[in-house]
């Protein structure tokens, strides 16, 4: 599965990393996530990157203006926003600016049969349309892949 990442804010969205570097003083990202490495690779200063712990709510921090933007995976942002008390406001999303693959993995000592069974089960979920129905149920605001 590909995970698209974008900036989310309450004002006019940026269209590039360069624009975000200029406009945002404080960007919320999950502590130790790939988003941190992506922003660092794209030349953001350490003081621009605010690493949030799992207990901190980025939607709340946006509304309190403690962060200017939130850089995260699109499905996560839409899911958290949908469950928030701030839905009456207009969450704005940049275009997808980064994308990475997500994988399931096993240890090197993992049974080869288990790996094959897992691969087959995932293929079956996709072929029967179950994966798509699950995406729609849990992420109704997420566009189809």
Claim to verify: residue 41 and residue 86 sit in the same structural domain: yes
| CATH code at position 65 | 3.40.190.10
Claim to verify: residue 30 and residue 95 sit in the same structural domain: yes
Strands 2-9 and 69-73: antiparallel
Q: Which domain holds residue 63?
A: 2-101
Claim to verify: residue 111 and residue 44 sit in the same structural domain: no
Claim to verify: residue 79 and residue 110 sit in the same structural domain: no
- Name the residue among 6, 2, 1 with its Cα closest to residue 96: 6
Q: Tell me, what's the pLDDT at 141?
A: 59
Task: Identify the sign of the CA torsion 67, 72, 77, 80.
Answer: negative
Cα–Cα distance between 30 and 36 in angstroms, integer? 8
Q: Tell me, what's the pLDDT at 92?
A: 93
Claim to verify: residue 75 and residue 137 sit in the same structural domain: no
Claim to verify: residue 50 and residue 18 sit in the same structural domain: yes
Claim to verify: residue 65 and residue 116 sit in the same structural domain: no
Claim to verify: residue 50 and residue 70 sit in the same structural domain: yes
pLDDT one digit per residue (tens) for the chain, 145 residues: 788 999 999 999 999 999 999 999 999 999 999 999 999 999 999 999 999 998 889 999 999 999 999 999 998 898 888 888 876 678 999 999 999 888 888 888 899 999 999 999 999 999 999 988 887 776 655 544 4
């Amino acid at each position: 599965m590909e995970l698209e990442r974008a900036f989310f804010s309450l004002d006019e969205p940026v269209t590039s990393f360069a624009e975000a570097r200029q406009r945002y003083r404080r960007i919320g990202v999950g502590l130790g996530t790939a988003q941190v490495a992506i922003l660092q690779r794209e030349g953001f200063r350490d003081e621009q990157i605010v690493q949030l712990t799992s207990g901190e709510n980025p939607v709340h921090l946006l509304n309190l203006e403690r962060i200017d933007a939130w850089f995260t995976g699109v499905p996560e942002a839409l899911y958290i926003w949908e469950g928030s008390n701030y839905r009456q406001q207009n969450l704005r999303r940049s275009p997808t600016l980064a994308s990475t693959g997500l994988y399931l993995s096993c240890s090197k000592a993992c049974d080869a049969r288990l790996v094959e069974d897992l691969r087959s089960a995932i293929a079956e979920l996709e072929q029967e349309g179950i994966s798509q129905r699950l995406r729609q149920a849990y992420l109704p605001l997420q566009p189809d892949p």
